[in-house]
Structure 1
Amino acid sequence: MTSTVSSIDTIETEDVSARLLDSAAQLSYDPAEEVAWDEPLDPTLFGLNPEWSTLYGTAMWEKMTQEQRILLTRHEVCSIMSTGIWFEMILQQMVLRDQYCKDSSNSDFQFALTEIADECRHSIMFARACKTMGIKAYLPRRTSIELGRGFKALASAEAAYGGILVAEEVLDVMQRDWMRGENVLPLVRTTSNIHVVEESRHMTFARAQMRERIQGKSVARRKSSALVVAIAARIIVSNMVNKGVYEAAGLDADRAIREAKNNAHHHAMMRTSSEHLMAFLLDCGLITKPAEAIYRRLHML
């Protein structure tokens, strides 16, 4: 019976991948051509919607000048883009490891490589966007970098795709707001739109892969994978906004970190961005008590 169910799931994921390949052929972007890289940056426009700033709604935000708010959001978006590059590099290695020596005639294999090609373009796009804004890359903490090495090398298939989904889902909700924000730099709006369109296919692929890979696994395996995905979420989310962004905006960094940590508005925004992800993980049986505790500390639940 288990073998039959597994075969059906494999056929279904192949169908999903075939549809995604058709979609990629019909709608994909070349950021080198689509983004107006030489357009001057309007000094009155934010790097991301102010509502997504980690300090929005705090006493500190109220006392900041408009110039400081704009500068902070530009550094915040570049920090998030830098974290995106870091995790996209992890993602590419995990997908390659998963597809190593598999049947290249399968749609799963071909879409996996299509996704890797997309992620390469996205990483270059984010790097170029930060450089255009005159902001250097914000790197993750050293411990996170080393944990990332272990995760990309050792994570089981469902945990690997779960980690991929965490990064993509949270950023997707944010970027859907950024690309519509009339007070956001066109550079950020365009790069966000490209990422949202192409990442929607990646998320569909990750969900299909997770459903197939978790099917029939033992309770112990599910509990282990649930914890690994939650830990991956903690590493990703905690590195999204580097502490250096506050100094770059001319703020008291220690006070800014305290206010950001206790910012109820930003906590609510994080829960909003995680709603679909949490529902999916729950449906897959990947929300256990230990995992739930981690997500609550991250304000994702």
Structure 2
Amino acid sequence: MTKLRTGVVGLGWAGTVHARTMAALPGVDLVAVSDLDPAKHTAFPDIPLYSDVEEMLRLELDYCVIATPSATHEHYALALAAAGVPALIEKPLAPTGAAARRIHDAFTRTGTFAAVGHTERHQAPLAELARLLHGGDFGELWQMETRRQGPYSGRILDVGVALDLLVHDVDLVSWLARQPIESVTAATRTLAGPYEDTATATTLLRGGVLAHHHADWITPFKHRQVQVHTAAGVLTANTVAGTLTHHPNTASPPPAGSFPGVQGGEARLITLPAQEPPFTVEHRLMRDALLGAGPRGLVTLAEGAHAVAATEALLTAAGSGQATAVTAREPALT
């Protein structure tokens, strides 16, 4: 197999996981890392460290990961696009919708491939949930709920819980429903500052599906759940437990044009196929896309920009107390 020459910019928690994953993945050769803190290099003593990204880009990389603080994503992304180096950009794609669109446009203009690191899509329960929904196995989609809680990690200093955590879920519901988010209502609270520590929102997707969200980093235990209500019952993906549960709706078919109501049956665990860790899945897809398999399964820049725009609208809605439209270009939903 041809080995792709790769690099990582930013060796915080996410960048370190990316680098370790790339170093272990067949067909990928990690040849360079970059961080402004030389102490971060101790985790990768055999990989050349560059403080100057421009110098690193002269290595003719096949792709590069951007895992720096979100406020710097645009700077590094534009440099990669100008150099024609494909990129995998950690979520959020950018801290604002405008910056996300500029990144999208730069890669489009140069014809350079790029994707966004929304690794939650590659969690086994969520990947199987998407397969079942998109295959039509459970009928009409009625509504969705997401919950993402845990203690503050101390890793994120430049954004609040909405752009750090809730951005995952606005991406997930749009992906699961295969519809863009059109408007948001929301409330947030700041406890320690300078950004919000807890956020609750309702997103309205095209076609009328509602999705209810809660995210915080004030909870002393980790909770990650996506719940989908369908005509055939409720599917609950729990990525902490690694489970997908179906609570069936056993109500009889209704007369034409009427709501059937619901009736509960015995819950069952859905068997999940064996799957690699999410970061491994993401880099395998990135590797295969660049070797000719196409971008299937990766989060596009348009989708990443849509998630940022929806989260930006959420924060605007929380500040104004009013429903806020998501002003963004149409995402190329996969």
TM-score (norm 2): 0.21
Which is richer in strand? 2
